[in-house]
């Protein structure tokens, strides 16, 4: 039992929690609802601390990213009460509550934040140095906790603030949970310096996170490796974040190639990347890699944090220079707690044996080379596979578990329902189901000793993917199936986005229309969002206003205008040139992703294949069946070598122009310097290229008059302007693109109606992401837009035979193109398989 009040030692408070009021009216917390000053925060903390009383008690706090949770956490530290931070009302929290019997619980009840006193006084004997209890194994429900002292918290907060150079003017976005030691270290280090927190529970995959980030003038955010995967998918490299000073990475190994890429992105954009290393047992951080070394030494964890030091403990089974990394410093925990009685213990640990194998490079930087134990980091959480195996054994499941990259692999033997195992493990560990992969086997691989053969298990896991086991559908299973069907992929997971899966402007049309039908109005950047971040499909008949993406609508309208004008059913030309602008728009959206240069070029090559193969296949067939075309048409060289006989020379000018432009742009971006320039100036580069394209549009040097330049050169500025339209961010840039189209298109054809159509199309593309529509109209527009290339190819063989019946000629031309598109779609997987075998 706790000592009587008159025998209690003087209450010890963590300085950064005790001294909040010293920062006066400086902003302390910024939320979507407003700003809370340090004085106001200190007042709320003091009031909650008074409610906790003068006697030290064990206080359980739900560590959500809310002002109420922050106040509860700080109030415990302010009053000298040991705080047990937990993730929420899940199995892990209930297990810890039962195991440690807290005296006070602070958290949400029926949506309202409450302070619930479970007893008067305390049921525990609490050591005077004890300040904080955190789970060490990723919320597995284990009663094993890390015991941290007041000195641990203050020392690590000061150390982190020192090497990051945290200023009073900084504002850190809470991109990680408060109950996670990494997320908590962001809070502690900024409060220690009087800086502000931009408090949000939104994911970096959510547009609302970045809206608040910009509005709050945030200067930093933290991420685990999975966070950086999401950043790639949401177009982080192209974001305008003028106040961003630095980004931190920890919670697991960030691949060296990603360290280099993000470090270079930061250098170009004016912010620093800090790669860090730590464990809960060290109150968060033990090492950091100076930003100026990130690009040259991306594989290193760096140097010890200020006040800390490393040594390498020799191991007999390791080569010279490699040992277990051992850390010492004022942030090393007091020790572990496995039962309430341990809360009375003082320091039992003086240095931390990390379990990581490391070596020290000639430059003094430390590098990790492996693990002594089987602990795994899954999405930044430390998970003990042995505890998972024990959990499943308690449910009569014979299982073996190991960490694999950013997922937990659970192999089960016998007649077991994999879906049940996945739900059980994910629920118990508080992990998203996508992070748990269940491998069903007839029996577990074992050594002669009878122990599980984990290397063999890892090889099995890395082998060919088995057909998916039927299971109860998760909320995003239907969407994964839809993406797999449309994109003809078998490897779709909730972490993938449309762009990740190789989606292009052709498949985008079908995907967007079908998603709109399933989900309602789509988020503006749905094609870069992970599938799991999309809203769940709605059941029944949804009541909502229908909308159609503007680029899809323009493609559908343009192809109808092209065919109708050629018949001629009406005279409203300009559709093909508008399609060239839309092509530039889609080029930027789908091919200029945040992937590396090699991946970008691979995507452009795939796009060219999807254009060239069906085009040449159709022309080859017509070359055999009719006398319309020549070899120059088949090789897409007519605009270069002729003949200029006026008969068929213009049939495929649009396809030739598009192919030439894509090849030229790919060659341009294959130059490393140009690739870097595009990433640094995603709007400026295409606008500059559009300006250069205007030299041929206005024939400044008289080349067109003398040499009859190909349309690809003369009309290139329209493609570049569409590219710039996709990259336009903010009103000024959109106005600039609109003004450029309005100033340069008139006079190009000498046909005001045609030019007005193109200018209007650009205006819609720039200012309206979607246009109002109806369900049936969406489906028709989707089919026409998705088949626009094929309609363009085939309509030349249809309408000349039906000129006397213009409407029938239009319908028949569209129908043949749609049919050819369906044929190509069916043949696609066969051709892809054939090409793979050739490789």
pLDDT of residue 60: 96
**Tokens, residue 482:** 């839809």
Tell me which residue has tokens 């929690």. Answer: 17
Q: Which of 427, 530, 425, 435 is closest to 476 using CA atoms?
A: 530
Residues 6+ apart with CB under 8 A from 342: 147, 335, 336
Bridge partners of residue 287, in order along the sequence: 277, 304
| Same domain membership, residue 708 and residue 622 | yes
Residue 8 confidence (pLDDT): 37
**Measured distance CA(248)–CA(264) in Å, rounded:** 14
Same domain flag for 366 and 404: no
The whole-number pLDDT of residue 582 equals 94
Task: Please list the rounded mean pLDDT of every run of 10 residues in the chain (839 residues).
Answer: 38 90 96 95 96 95 94 96 87 84 92 91 95 72 85 97 97 93 96 97 88 95 86 85 95 87 92 96 96 95 97 84 95 96 96 92 91 68 75 82 77 82 81 82 64 74 51 57 76 72 70 73 70 63 63 92 92 90 91 76 88 94 90 90 74 94 94 85 93 93 76 92 90 94 93 93 90 79 90 94 92 94 78 51
Q: Provide the domain limits for residue 645.
A: 550-773
The domain boundary residue, chosen from 370, 404, 421? 370
Whole-number pLDDT of residue 628: 87
The four Cα atoms 255, 256, 258, 259 give a dihedral, to 10 degrees, of 120
- Same domain assignment for residues 117 and 212: yes
Please indicate, yes or no, if residue 511 is contained in any of the structural domains: no
Q: Which residues contact 500 (CB under 8 A, 6 or more apart)?
A: 233
Q: What is the DSSP-derived secondary structure letter of residue 340?
A: G
Do both 296 and 434 map to the same domain? no
Cβ–Cβ under 8 Å, residues 611 and 789: yes
Residues 347 and 426 in one domain: no
Question: How confident is the model at residue 829, as a pLDDT?
Answer: 60
pLDDT of residue 472: 39
| pTM for this predicted structure | 0.55
Domain match, 197 and 318 both: yes
CATH number at residue 311: 3.40.50.12780
Q: In terms of domains, do 211 and 319 share one?
A: yes
Whether residue 326 is contained in a domain is answered as yes
Q: What is the DSSP letter of 7?
A: G
Alpha-carbon span 390 to 663, nearest angstrom: 57
3-state SS, residue 418: helix
In the prediction, which pLDDT does 741 show? 95
Domain annotation covers residue 813: no
Residue 208 lies in a domain: yes
Asked if 765 and 733 count as a contact pair (C-beta separation under 8 A), the reply is no
> Within a domain: residue 330?
yes
Whether 442 and 577 map to the same domain: the answer is no
Do 347 and 408 lie in one domain? The reply is no
795: nearest Cα among 642, 618, 581:
618
**What pLDDT score was predicted for residue 283?**
94
Q: What is the pLDDT of residue 357?
A: 87
Which of 447, 462, 477 represents a domain boundary (last residue)? 462
Do the beta carbons of residue 247 and residue 218 sit within 8 Å?
no
| Domain identity same for 364 and 419 | no
The answer to whether residue 528 sits within a structural domain is no
Residue 15's contacts (CB-CB under 8 Å, 6 or more residues apart) are: 154, 192
Write the CA distances from 700 to 181, 360, 657, 665, 706, integer angstroms. Answer: 63, 62, 20, 22, 12
Position 451 scores a pLDDT of 56
Domain membership of residue 805 (yes or no) is no
Q: H or E segment at 383?
A: strand 381-383
Which pLDDT score, from 0 to 100, does residue 446 have?
64
Q: How many domains does the chain have?
A: 3
Look at residues 341, 370, 399 and tell me which one is the last residue of a structural domain: 370
Using CA of residue 203, residue 205, residue 210, residue 211, what is the dihedral sign?
A: negative
> For position 389, which CATH number holds?
3.30.300.30
SS3 9: coil
Side by side, which strands form the sheet with 436-441?
Answer: 399-404, 407-413, 436-441
Residues sharing a CB contact under 8 Å with residue 89, sequence separation 6 or more, in sequence order: 62, 107, 108
3-state secondary structure of 468: coil
Task: Please list the helix, strand and coil fractions of the chain in percent, rounded to the nearest 5, in that order.
Answer: 50, 15, 35
Q: Is residue 571 part of a domain?
A: yes
Contacting residues for 87 by C-beta, under 8 A, at least 6 apart: 62, 63, 93, 139, 177, 179, 430
Rounded Cα–Cα distance for residues 464 and 146 (Å): 40
Q: Verify that 646 and 678 share a domain, yes or no.
A: yes
Is the domain of 389 the same as that of 415?
A: yes
């Amino acid at each position: 039992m706790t000592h009587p009040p008159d025998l209690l030692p003087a209450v010890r408070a963590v300085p950064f929690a005790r001294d909040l009021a010293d920062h006066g009216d400086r902003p302390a917390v910024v939320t979507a609802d407003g700003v809370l000053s340090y004085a106001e925060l200190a007042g709320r903390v003091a009031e909650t601390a008074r409610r906790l009383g003068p006697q030290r008690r064990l206080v359980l706090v739900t560590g959500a990213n809310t002002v109420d949770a922050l106040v509860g956490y700080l109030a415990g530290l302010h009053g000298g009460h040991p705080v047990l931070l937990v993730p929420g009302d899940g199995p892990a929290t209930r297990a810890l509550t039962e195991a440690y019997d807290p005296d006070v619980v602070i958290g949400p009840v029926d949506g309202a934040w409450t302070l619930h006193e479970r007893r008067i006084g305390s049921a525990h004997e609490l050591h005077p140095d004890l300040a904080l209890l955190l789970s060490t194994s990723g919320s597995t429900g284990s009663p094993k906790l890390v015991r941290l002292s007041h000195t641990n918290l203050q020392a690590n907060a000061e150390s982190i603030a020192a090497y990051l150079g945290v200023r009073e003017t900084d504002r850190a976005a809470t991109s990680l949970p408060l109950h996670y030691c990494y997320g908590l270290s962001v809070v502690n280090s900024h409060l220690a310096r009087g800086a502000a927190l931009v408090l949000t529970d939104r994911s970096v995959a959510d547009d609302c996170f970045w809206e608040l980030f910009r509005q709050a003038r945030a200067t930093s955010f933290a991420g685990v490796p999975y966070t950086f995967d999401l950043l790639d998918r949401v177009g982080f490299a192209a974001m305008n974040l003028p106040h961003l000073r630095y980004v931190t990475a920890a919670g697991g190994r960030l691949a060296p190639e990603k360290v280099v890429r993000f470090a270079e992105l930061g250098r170009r954009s004016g912010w620093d990347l800090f790669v860090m290393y730590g464990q809960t047992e060290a109150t968060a951080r033990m090492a950091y890699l100076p930003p100026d070394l990130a690009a040259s030494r991306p594989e290193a964890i760096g140097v010890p944090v200020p006040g800390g030091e490393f040594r390498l403990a020799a191991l007999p089974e390791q080569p010279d220079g490699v040992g277990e990394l051992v850390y010492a410093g004022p942030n090393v925990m007091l020790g572990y707690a496995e039962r309430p009685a341990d809360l009375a213990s003082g320091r039992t640990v003086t240095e931390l044996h990390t379990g990581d194998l490391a070596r020290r490079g000639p430059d003094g930087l430390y590098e990790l080379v492996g693990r002594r134990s089987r602990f795994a980091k899954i999405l930044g959480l430390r998970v003990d596979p042995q505890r998972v195996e024990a959990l499943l054994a308690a449910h009569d499941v014979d299982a073996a578990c190991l960490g694999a990259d950013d997922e937990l692999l659970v192999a089960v033997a016998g007649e077991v329902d994999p879906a049940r195992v996945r739900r059980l493990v994910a629920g118990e560990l508080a992990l998203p189901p996508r992070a748990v992969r269940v491998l069903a086997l007839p029996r577990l691989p074992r050594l002669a000793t009878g122990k599980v053969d984990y290397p063999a298990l890892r090889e099995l896991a890395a082998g060919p993917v088995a057909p998916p086991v039927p299971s109860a559908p998760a909320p995003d299973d239907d969407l994964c199936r839809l993406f797999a069907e449309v994109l003809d992929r078998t490897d779709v997971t909730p972490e993938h986005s449309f762009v990740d899966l190789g989606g292009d402007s052709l498949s985008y049309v079908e995907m967007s229309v079908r998603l709109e039908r399933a989900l309602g109005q789509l988020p503006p950047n749905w094609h870069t969002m992970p599938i799991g971040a999309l809203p769940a499909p709605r059941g029944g008949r949804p009541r909502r206003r229908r909308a159609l993406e503007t680029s899809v609508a323009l493609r559908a309208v343009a192809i109808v205008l092209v065919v109708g004008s050629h018949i001629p059913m009406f005279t409203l030309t300009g559709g093909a040139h508008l399609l060239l602008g839309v092509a530039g728009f889609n080029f930027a959206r789908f091919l200029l992703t945040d992937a590396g240069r090699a991946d970008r070029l691979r995507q452009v090559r795939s796009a060219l294949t999807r254009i060239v193969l069906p085009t040449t296949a159709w022309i080859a067939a017509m070359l055999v069946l009719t006398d319309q075309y020549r070899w120059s048409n088949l090789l897409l060289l007519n605009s270069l070598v002729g003949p200029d006989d006026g008969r068929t020379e213009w049939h495929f000018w649009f396809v030739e122009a598009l192919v030439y432009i894509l090849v030229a742009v790919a060659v341009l971006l294959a130059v490393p310097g140009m690739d870097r320039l595009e990433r640094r100036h995603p709007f400026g580069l295409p606008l500059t290229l559009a300006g250069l394209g205007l030299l041929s549009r206005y024939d400044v040097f008289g080349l067109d008059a003398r040499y009859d330049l190909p349309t690809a050169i003369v009309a290139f500025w329209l493609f570049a302007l569409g590219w710039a339209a996709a990259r336009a961010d903010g009103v000024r840039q959109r106005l600039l693109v609109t003004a450029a189209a309005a100033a340069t298109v008139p006079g190009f054809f000498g046909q005001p109606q045609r030019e007005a159509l193109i200018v209007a199309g650009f205006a819609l593309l720039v200012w309206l992401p979607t246009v109002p529509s109806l369900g049936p109209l969406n489906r028709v527009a989707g089919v026409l837009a998705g088949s626009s290339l094929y309609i363009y190819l085939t309509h030349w063989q249809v309408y000349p035979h039906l000129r006397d019946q213009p409407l029938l000629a239009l319908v028949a031309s569209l129908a043949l193109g749609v049919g050819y598109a369906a044929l190509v779609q069916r043949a696609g997987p066969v051709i892809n398989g054939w090409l793979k075998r050739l490789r």
